[in-house]
Structure 1
């Protein structure tokens, strides 16, 4: 009977390796944002999809950080995906926003969360918009696989 259990354990462990891990990036910790203030994108920014855009912040922690794209109103922004993970906390990152991103009518609808990988300390951008003249709703809807989180952050408006 122990050999059956061992084979089952081995099978399930192997299966677990094949399954995708949701939100594999460092998760934010704490009750409020702190440190690493983000200056770009700033209030009233419109980020062009399909073009390089430099995200900038003032590094106040050591180590690496992860940048996560958020979507939705400031009171209920939903994490979409990690823009980049485990990069040096240098104060800037050149992002190439996907042309799958839905454009916004104004400078709201998106945000970025910066997470310190060593301790989960986090910070948000203000809300910003996306311009995307190449956007095609039907194609983006069929190819997007946004992840959701049980706790939605509130980002500054």
Structure 2
């Protein structure tokens, strides 16, 4: 059971601090699509791929004292900040299975905006479709985000950059 939790904690440790639940969801989904060993199941949701399993595991990690979740009011909504705790670091030191290139990949994703990661994860969610069909799908399911073709091109380039980074 805790093996899957430890994989998530490695992502937190590699990222430093993750600001936002949406960003966390997208980072884990993108990593999963890049063949990192995450097992959470995802469905398409209002903000793109979403995993209830991931939400529950993060809640469990917070309850165990391995992850610190800070809720802060930002304008009209609440934002969440996640960091690994000292107890979490101790627990993680017992988990020796290395995950290659995780640090660079998660640090890179963590520097991107939630909006951009939402686009990247949506592109990956529809990766069985042609690029043209993905653009049409994004225009339909993400109409409020108003993504431009340039942003979609940037998402595809970013996916390739991450794939190259994971290979090395």
Which category of TM-score, normalised to the shorter sequence, fits these structures? under 0.3
Structure showing the higher helix proportion among its residues: 2
Structure showing the higher strand proportion among its residues: 1
